């Protein structure tokens, strides 16, 4: 029988604010891709030196340690140490580099997360083993929300914290999602309001780990939070059902099989966990984030020649979505300037070797109005919108050799349209004349793939939901 009053504080690695998590992901990925493979003995110094340039001057060593070990390492599972003594980027990091799909990245983290796991110190692991903890927390939570939704019931963060994430019976695998929903309904009927409270502790002690776990699900685009109520994002129902199918299945990684009483056993446990957690789940390829699941985008007149995801892979699909959106924007922009020039806006994304996706026109007052404008579209998906005024914001894009040559050849007439599909809005950052910006040190072009690192001072124009903004 499920007893909701049996409470147990089961924390995860502390992260950052939600927008910071979105912002940090490309920076972590860039640094790790630059320095790895890296000998374990050199990793600490190499990471800190590379990552410190994205942080304010005077950042403490403790903060750098947190970024390197706790967040990018343990919480995100972005790298692991192999048998040969080298640090490698994980499969999850490699996939993010390929598809620029941040919600999919967080989906995979949420899917593989379990209690107990190999992220906390050994004393905490042992405590959780002694308490018989054995749960896939996010799968279980999503199943509860799914059952509640079928009954037209919506749960608050407080209810999720008390009845699920802080419930010992749930964490021990002794309760079913149906029992949890029924207990909540019964308490509501009796007008019983339950809350987590640890005597002598601040409220943050009780609730921070709850909020951070719910934030992870929101970053994964699986839930929507409105006025403290947590609802399923039903546009992600396919991914949600993959979670809920495993709601009551024991975690894949068997912590209980390790002899943690010996140094060798503990080392093997942490080594195996890092490898396991950084590797992609068997569901990862189906976790791609459809644009429609983030934001409703009106149909456009742009040609839709994109192939299916099964045929092309997610990288091509997100590129097609971004190109379609930019094509529609450019046609509207040019039409507003001079309708006779609209036919000069041409989608060339499927033409190989050009080094750009869309050919448009400048369409601005002056002698260059009808000059050709070359546009390369780079799209990404994230939950929160990037802030042009955030001095710590950072992003990375990859250019092919053809794209870099085209950028050098066309100079100020070559533009990168960085499209951010977010839950809040669609944002385009336009970067012009990247070759000159590289020479001036405003951006950093790394010749491995002509990767472009840029900050807010490189952005020439900002478009929000099709409307130009002042920069």
Span 113-135, pLDDT tens digits: 999 999 999 999 999 999 999 99
Q: Check whether 245 has a pLDDT greater than 60.
A: yes
pTM: 0.89
Residues forming a β-bridge with 395? 454
Name the residue with tokens 């080594």.
271
| 296 pLDDT tier (thresholds 50, 70, 90) | low
pLDDT higher than 50, residue 303: no
Residue 265: is the preceding peptide bond cis (ω within 30°)?
A: no
Question: What pLDDT score does 295 carry?
Answer: 78
Residue 450 — very low, low, confident or very high, per pLDDT cuts 50/70/90?
low
pLDDT of residue 56: 87
**What is the bridge-based pairing of β-strands 223-226 and 229-232?**
antiparallel
Report the pLDDT averaged over residues 283-305.
Answer: 72
> Would you say the C-alpha torsion 12, 17, 20, 21 has a positive or negative sign?
positive
What share of the chain in percent tops pLDDT 90?
81
Q: Could you give the C-alpha distances from 122 to 173, 267, 274, 275, 279, in angstroms and in order?
A: 22, 10, 14, 18, 22
Say how far apart CA 223 and CA 214 lie, in whole Å.
8
What's the average model confidence in pLDDT over 183-187? 97
- Calculate mean pLDDT across residues 81-103: 95
Q: Are strands 358-361 and 372-381 parallel, antiparallel or unpaired?
A: antiparallel
Spatial separation of the C-alpha atoms in residues 111 and 120, rounded to whole Å: 18
pLDDT reported for residue 304: 46
Q: Which pLDDT score, from 0 to 100, does residue 307 have?
A: 40
Every domain of the chain and the residues it spans:
18-286, 292-469
The phi, psi pair for 316, rounded to 5°, reads: -65, -40
Judge whether 181 and 148 are in contact, CB under 8 Å.
Answer: yes
Owner of token pair 């024991």: 250
Sheet with 372-381: list strands edge to edge.
346-347, 358-361, 372-381, 414-421, 426-432, 461-464, 467-469
Give the separation between CA 260 and CA 280, rounded to whole angstroms. Answer: 26
For 155-178, the pLDDT digits (tens) are 999 999 999 999 999 999 999 999
pLDDT of 301 above 50: no
- The sign one gets for the Cα dihedral 58, 59, 62, 68 is negative
Residue 192 has pLDDT above 60, yes or no: yes
How does residue 305 score in pLDDT terms, banded at 50, 70 and 90?
very low
> Do 32 and 80 touch, CB atoms closer than 8 A?
no
Q: Which residues contact 46 (CB under 8 A, 6 or more apart)?
A: 35, 38
The torsion angle over the Cα atoms of residues 120, 121, 126 and 128, rounded to 10 degrees, is: -30
Say if 18-286 and 292-469 have the same CATH topology: no
Whole-angstrom distance, CA of residue 89 vs CA of residue 35? 9
What are the C-alpha distances in Å from 145 to residues 157, 184, 228, 238, 247? 12, 12, 14, 15, 11
CATH of the domain spanning 18-286, picked from 3.40.50.2300, 1.20.1250.20, 3.40.50.261, 1.10.10.2090: 1.10.10.2090
Q: Sheet containing 155-156: give its strands across.
A: 155-156, 229-232, 223-226
Q: For residue 410, with 0-12 CB atoms within 10 Å meaning exposed, 13-18 middle and 19 or more buried, which class applies? A: middle
d(CA 303, CA 321): 11
The pLDDT of 370-398, averaged and rounded, is 92
Does the domain at residues 292-469 carry the CATH identifier 3.40.1350?
yes
Tokens linked to 414:
């070559």
Give the per-residue pLDDT at 102. 96
Average pLDDT of the chain?
A: 92
- 299 confidence band (pLDDT: 50, 70, 90): very low
Percentage of the chain exceeding pLDDT 70? 94
Query: What does the pLDDT read at residue 318?
Result: 57
pLDDT band at 310 (very low <50, low <70, confident <90, very high): very low
């Amino acid at each position: 029988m499920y007893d909701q009053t049996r409470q147990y504080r089961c924390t995860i690695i502390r992260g950052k604010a939600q927008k910071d998590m979105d912002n940090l992901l490309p920076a972590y990925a860039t640094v790790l891709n630059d320095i790895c493979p890296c000998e374990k003995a050199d990793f600490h110094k190499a990471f800190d030196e590379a990552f410190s340039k994205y942080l304010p001057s005077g950042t403490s060593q403790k903060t750098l340690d947190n970024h390197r070990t706790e967040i990018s390492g343990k919480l995100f599972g972005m790298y692991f140490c192999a048998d040969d003594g080298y640090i490698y980027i994980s499969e999850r990091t490699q996939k993010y580099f390929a598809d620029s799909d941040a919600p999919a990245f967080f989906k995979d983290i949420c899917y593989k997360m379990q209690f107990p796991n190999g992220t906390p110190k050994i004393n905490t692991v042992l405590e959780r083993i002694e308490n018989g903890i054995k749960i896939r927390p996010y799968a279980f939570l999503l199943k509860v929300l799914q059952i509640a939704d079928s009954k037209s019931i919506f749960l608050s963060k407080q209810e999720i914290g008390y009845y699920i994430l802080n419930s010992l019976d749930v964490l021990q695998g002794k309760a079913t999602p149906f029992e949890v929903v029924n207990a909540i309904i019964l308490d509501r009927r009796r007008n019983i309001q339950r809350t987590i409270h640890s005597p002598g502790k601040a409220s943050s002690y009780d609730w921070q780990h709850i909020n951070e776990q719910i934030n992870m699900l929101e970053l994964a685009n699986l839930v929507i939070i409105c006025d403290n109520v947590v609802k399923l994002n039903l546009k992600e129902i396919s991914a949600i059902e993959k979670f809920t199918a495993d709601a009551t299945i024991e975690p894949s990684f068997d912590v209980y099989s390790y002899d943690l009483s010996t140094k060798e056993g503990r080392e093997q446990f942490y080594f195996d966990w890092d490898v396991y957690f950084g590797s992609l789940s068997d569901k990862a390829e189906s976790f791609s984030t459809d644009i429609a699941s983030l934001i409703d985008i009106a149909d456009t007149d742009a040609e839709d020649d994109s192939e299916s995801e099964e045929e092309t892979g997610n990288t091509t699909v997100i590129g097609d979505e971004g190109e379609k959106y930019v094509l529609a924007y450019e046609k509207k922009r040019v039409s507003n300037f001079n309708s006779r020039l609209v036919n000069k806006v041409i989608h060339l994304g499927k033409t190989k070797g050009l080094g750009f996706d869309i050919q448009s026109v400048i369409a601005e007052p002056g002698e260059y109005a009808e000059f050709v404008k070359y546009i390369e579209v780079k799209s990404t998906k994230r939950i929160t919108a990037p802030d042009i005024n955030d001095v710590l914001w950072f992003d990375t894009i990859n250019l092919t050799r053809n794209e870099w040559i085209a950028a050098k050849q066309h100079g100020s007439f070559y533009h990168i349209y960085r499209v951010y599909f977010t839950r809040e809005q669609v944002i385009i950052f336009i970067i012009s004349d990247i070759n000159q910006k590289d020479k001036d040190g405003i951006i950093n072009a790394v010749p491995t793939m002509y990767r472009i690192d840029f900050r807010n001072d490189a952005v020439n124009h900002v478009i929000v939901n099709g409307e130009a903004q002042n920069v």
